[in-house]
Amino acid sequence: MKISFSEADEAFRREVANWLADNLRGEFEQLRFRGGPGDEHSFPEERKAWERKLAEGGWTCVGWAPEHGGRGLSINQQVIFHEEYARAGGPGRMGHIGEGLAGPTIAAFGTDDQKRRLLPGIVAGTEFWCQGYSEPAAGSDLANVKTRAVLENGQWRISGQKVWTSLAHESEWCFVIARTEAGSVGHQGLSFLLVPMHQPGITVRPIEQLTGTSEFNEVFFDEALTDADNILGAPGDGWKIAMALLGFERGVSTLGQQMLFQNELEEIIQIARANGAARDPLLRQRIAEAWGGLRILRYNSLRMLSGAQDGGLRREAMIYKLCWANWHVALGKLAMDVLGPDAELLEGGPYELGRLQSMFLFSRSDSIYGGTNEIQRNIIAERALGMPREPRVRT
């Protein structure tokens, strides 16, 4: 057991920090600490340019294998990269769905031809991806997908609706779970399709959130098309691949997320010191609790990553989402309580939120998206603790 990094890793840390200091400036200065959850709608074009800048430096897909165009970094160096990126205020990554989800899934399940066609655009920061999972009737019950696809004349013809799709309007590609076997139900008969976004059969409509901003979208497929070879795995493999993809989601990027949380906590601490909230004994307890909770998120991640080599979904990984969602929801409320009466005053009209106000409101989605807290508890109970599955209602 060792909780410190090696000399070589610390040297790598300086290399990352130096590159960011040299490059996250000039035209990119305005992007510092922007984008990411709650601010995903900001500066899309500039952040895409930043992705290309990162690619030039070899800083996209740092954990991918070199054969797929990645940097092949060790887990420890990936951790360091994500930490330094977030510490420097690196903008929310426009490419994170491609790099973190689509790419690893294509690398694991794709044909050589698919890897050749699709991975380089992700590495170069020129092709962006979005995720077509949820539907109006398939939220927590994801297997209840209704979107249909039929193979006709060498093309998949897709009709249906996806929802809660981040960055749909900024993406070249969407991976879509669609029902390709007529009459099938549940996990059966689903396929994992890769669909170009820029086509007449696709309409993207932003969802106005309770924050007043829009970063999630509805995506309508009206006889949208994709080539027959844009299917990952075989028809009917969709559920298996969809679930494997969710496994890629938990990983080193959690460390970067924690650096953003750290920034938020530090802002709250500064405000507390300045406005006298630091003299309230109950707020002191909650601030200390928040600090400790964030340390524990980090320790949980380090355990998860140290054990990642042996594969499989470990207990630490299964609790991670519930753990950070709870923590961040509590931080949002703490921020408001530390701000006191000032929490009510906006930066401007009609509804211009300050950073902590935005965080407070947006945090209410943390315990919903990516699997609600309730679904997370089911997963933990059934898969980690071996408790019986919920009896299914026969329909």
Q: Is 20 helix (H, G, I), strand (E, B) or coil?
A: helix
Contact of 103 with 245, CB cutoff 8 Å:
no
- Least Å distance, CB 278 to another protein, is 4
Active site residue 127: no
Contact of 248 with 105, CB cutoff 8 Å:
yes
- Least Å distance, CB 345 to another protein, is 24
- Which amino acid type is present at position 154? G
Catalytic residue, from 40, 135, 249, 264: name it.
Answer: 249
User: Which residues in this chain contact another protein in the complex, by CB under 8 A?
Assistant: 1-5, 9, 76, 79, 269, 272-273, 278-279, 281, 284-285, 287-289, 291-292, 295-296, 299-300, 302-303, 305-307, 315-316, 319, 322-323, 326, 374, 376-378, 380-382, 384-391
Termini Cα distance of the chain: 51
- Least Å distance, CB 368 to another protein, is 16
Contact of 165 with 369, CB cutoff 8 Å:
no
- Least Å distance, CB 152 to another protein, is 43
CA dihedral 154, 159, 161, 166 (to 10 degrees): 20
Contact of 24 with 89, CB cutoff 8 Å:
yes
User: What are 172's two structure tokens?
Assistant: 């070249």
CA dihedral 239, 244, 245, 246 (to 10 degrees): 100
A 10 A CB-CB count for 370 gives: 16
- Least Å distance, CB 284 to another protein, is 4
Q: Which positions are catalytic?
A: 249
